[in-house]
Structure 1
Amino acid sequence: MKTITDFQHKKILVLGLAKSGVSAALLLHKLGAFVTVNDQKPLDENPQAQHLLEQGIKVICGSHPIELLEEGFEMIVKNPGIPYSNPLVSGAIAKGISVLTEVELAYLISEAPLIGITGTNGKTTTTTLIYKMFEADRKKAIIAGNIGEVASQVVQQATKEDHVVIELSSFQLMGVDQFRPHISIITNIYDAHLDYHGTKEEYVKAKLNITKNQTEDDFFIVNADQEELFQFAKQSKAVIVPFSTKKTVANGAYVENGEIYFRGEKIIKLQEIALPGAHNLENILCAISAVKLARVSNEAIREVLSTFSGVRHRTQFVRELNGRKFYNDSKATNTLATKSALAAFSEPTVLLAGGLDRGNDFDDLIPYLNNVKALVTFGQTAHKLAETARKAGIFEVVKVETMAQAVTQAYQLSESGDTILLSPACASWDQYKTFEQRGDIFIEAVHTLN
């Protein structure tokens, strides 16, 4: 890591813990800052805060006292999940105190070039593909951010020979100042997280922070099929590298005659790709663009794309049994994600869906239900999804209580040649702690069938 003096003897407040807060606090302490950590969880229930206390770092737990703003902090490094409406955060901004997230620290100390990936959908799959392509080409790479380890932690061990591949949320990108990846990617942008950002304009602005400090020596990979986003991207000083599933883009990645090209060079035939779905084709084009810019071989790209069948819980192939193929898309916590999953399959499909009721209906799924022959519903939204199915002309609808029951019913409703797809269109919190837990239970239930 770079030796920097930017934080030496500065009073810095780390607001909120979790993994990123712990990493930021320890790093700032190592860099000579006077660090105070503030976390809402009481100290006696907070092993992370206790660990920091043992390292000689000042810790205040149990609440976010507004009085902290009177202690002369020069900077706040906040957990991305803490909203800007938090009184400590809004009060700090009013006082002119910088409010950053830990990815800013990662950039400042990193010797390795950074590849930053953001977007509404596809971030994790794109990040994983890029990492695996580097790995297949025997080039050093480290995966970080929302998947992998905390960025400010892994860059401490990274060298100039490494590539640090970071998945970035809009929450993280709101809190950057000098952050500058050598290669940045926006996979796509749809309406999301408006409860946090307030408006789509603010959400887009946060995403575009990924390129705001890039120069003509850097690259910005962007979705040319989203015209509004592509026009915004032209504000960047970086070299624009477009990708498109619909048209030829001379300076980027595209599909033509059943093959993927990058800047006119044939890379791979679509029929050789293991990862299903039109939405994943966007992710593949992003990944190819990034690694070709980093001089990864076509052989390594083809090796990954011909074998990689998906990230866990994201249209993940689980098993084939008696001609039925099972897919786990538990990460689909909204209708947009479920639309993408449904569009990935042309076979007759038994859909498993349901979960937390956020007050919305599901009628926007109707145009995507043409191949759905049966629906198994569960959770708080079971009745709403059943009504949507009836509107779509699906009359095989079964309501169940558990995921194990859902898998058994789906198998009974299916026949050889069918796809059985878990894509809930809802968050998991009515029945499960996380979407990962929901997906793991689905996988376990699938493997008990015989």
Structure 2
Amino acid sequence: MTIDEKLKAFFENKRVVILGFGREGRSTLKLLGSCNCKSITVADMNPVPESETEGCTLCCGEDYLTCLDDCDIIMKAPGVILKNIVSDEIKAKITSQTDLFLRFCDNMIIGITGTKGKSTTSSLIKFFIEKSGKDTMLIGNIGVPPLERREEFTKDCVIVCEMSCHQLEYVKASPDVAVLLNIYPEHLDHYTDFAAYRNAKLNIFRYQNENDTLIIGEEVKQYADTKARVITAGFSCGDIGTRNGGIFIGDEFYPADMIDTKLKGEHNLYNIAIAIYAATKAGCTVKQCFDALPQFCGLEHRLEYVCTLNGAEYINDSISTAPQTAIAALKAYPDTDTLIIGGMDRGIPYDELSDWLSGDTLVRNLIILPDSGKRVAEKVTNPLVKLIYADDMEQAVKYAKQVTKTRCILSPAAASYGFYKNFEERGKHFKELVTSNN
């Protein structure tokens, strides 16, 4: 059976609720158009345009979850937060595009998750496979719902799928090659606690079998309860990873002078090592990956060089939403003298970042944005670090231009919500302000 035939058999004569009508919800409605559902209900907290949902029942507003009792299948979008507000009976009905993609797609699937690094690692894997001459595509958390491009799933296409915790939370299948980079406290506003968030991430390998491969970070390998072959990745430890500025894959070591890459930082060497090994599972050679690496330019908002003003570099790391990523940015650029931090306060711990800034650092200007920046600043004890409070990004960049001598990095260690639509909008605003003449 083709994937479309499997989807039709799954949905035929079923009462389906599309829970959340953003990009994935709209994609799901289009998918269901040929599946002969008994009924389709679109449920969302916000109003839904009737012009886009002809033939569907609408359930919108504060009581939008009331329609979940009277249905057979719930197609949940990643952005809908449920926590413990629905029963186990309702949860048993929940599936998603990610779940059905994993269950019904016969192609080789490489799935990647982690609190940090998944977009870069996913993009690298796809890049290596593509440059080796093989058919591949990148879908998932990068903004392409997993089933949206199913018509392009040719027989030999290797599908690389970046997966968020929200996409993984209700899956009942796992990819052929699962990559779990790391797990840090994150998205705690979406989950009852850190354990619930971690449990969602672990679904990436929970349903693997002995023919599958799990590539997992050393720091989280204790959770690797799986039948799959386990490959550990680490910093100076594990089966693959980074050591002494180079990369090791099994018994082979590739020193720094052999690694030509535009990506900065030890954490990116870690990502590269994992991406190379994952690509070899799709038939690439290590040499092909290293030969292609110099052409990979990195991703926007991830330690992205913006410009040089009056001898000082400006770096956009708006993707940083956790303290560990801000520390990684400072490790990648150890001579940074100005750091801009702060954003939505989700209650995650910041002691590690405060301790780092209180230690042997060259950061001399800590520009603090509301709300979370204040929590970092209040525990910084290094007298050489000047604390500069800004009301918004415009003021933060203005201060940065006044005090920065070597390098300014925007690495907020916090989510953008409440101040910006997403981290992309925050990063673009930063770049606009830096390059303006103000």
Do the two structures share a fold, i.e. TM-score over 0.5? yes
8 Å contact 2:17–2:43 — kept in the other structure? no
Cα 1:362–1:96 change in 2 (3 A) is closer
2:273 counterpart SS class: helix
Counterpart position of 1:30: 34
Q: How does 1:32-431 map to 2 (within 5 A)?
A: 32-41=36-45, 45-47=47-49, 50-53=51-54, 56-65=55-64, 68-69=67-68, 71=70, 73-85=71-83, 87=85, 90-91=86-87, 93-94=88-89, 97-177=92-172, 179-224=173-218, 226=219, 229-233=220-224, 235-247=225-237, 249=239, 253-256=240-243, 258-266=245-253, 269=256, 272-358=260-346, 362-369=350-357, 370-381=361-372, 384=375, 386-389=377-380, 391-415=381-405, 418-431=406-419
8 Å contact 1:25–1:37 — kept in the other structure? no
| Equivalent-residue separation in structure 2 for 1:425 and 1:258 (angstroms) | 25
Counterpart position of 1:438: 426
| Equivalent-residue separation in structure 1 for 2:179 and 2:17 (angstroms) | 30
Gaps of 5+ in 2: none
Cα 1:174–1:245 change in 2 (3 A) is same
8 Å contact 1:114–1:163 — kept in the other structure? yes
| Equivalent-residue separation in structure 1 for 2:165 and 2:84 (angstroms) | 17
Measured after TM superposition, the shift of residue 347 of structure 1 is 1.1
1:209 counterpart SS class: helix
Measured after TM superposition, the shift of residue 331 of structure 1 is 1.9
| Equivalent-residue separation in structure 2 for 1:279 and 1:169 (angstroms) | 19
Matched-pair identity in %: 31
| Equivalent-residue separation in structure 1 for 2:159 and 2:69 (angstroms) | 38
Measured after TM superposition, the shift of residue 188 of structure 1 is 0.7
Measured after TM superposition, the shift of residue 310 of structure 1 is 3.0
Kindly report the root-mean-square deviation, in angstroms, between the aligned alpha carbons of the 2 structures. Answer: 2.8
1:113 corresponds to which letter in structure 2?
M
1:313 counterpart SS class: coil
Measured after TM superposition, the shift of residue 147 of structure 1 is 0.4
Cα 1:315–1:75 change in 2 (3 A) is same
8 Å contact 1:246–1:255 — kept in the other structure? yes
8 Å contact 2:18–2:41 — kept in the other structure? yes
Cα 1:350–1:238 change in 2 (3 A) is same
8 Å contact 1:115–1:184 — kept in the other structure? yes
Q: Deviations over 1:109-128 (max 9, x none)?
A: 42422111111111111111
1:138 counterpart SS class: coil
8 Å contact 1:136–1:303 — kept in the other structure? no
1:175 counterpart SS class: coil
Taking structure 2 as the reference length, what is the TM-score of the superposition?
A: 0.88
Measured after TM superposition, the shift of residue 187 of structure 1 is 0.3
Q: Deviations over 1:216-245 (max 9, x none)?
A: 221111112x1xx21221x21111122122
| Equivalent-residue separation in structure 2 for 1:215 and 1:320 (angstroms) | 51
Measured after TM superposition, the shift of residue 421 of structure 1 is 0.4
Measured after TM superposition, the shift of residue 297 of structure 1 is 3.5
| Equivalent-residue separation in structure 2 for 1:101 and 1:33 (angstroms) | 16
Gaps of 5+ in 1: none
Measured after TM superposition, the shift of residue 290 of structure 1 is 0.7
Measured after TM superposition, the shift of residue 387 of structure 1 is 4.1
Taking structure 1 as the reference length, what is the TM-score of the superposition?
A: 0.85
Measured after TM superposition, the shift of residue 322 of structure 1 is 4.7
User: Is 1:18 matched up with 2:22?
Assistant: yes
**Worse-matched range after superposition: 439-448 or 258-267:** 258-267
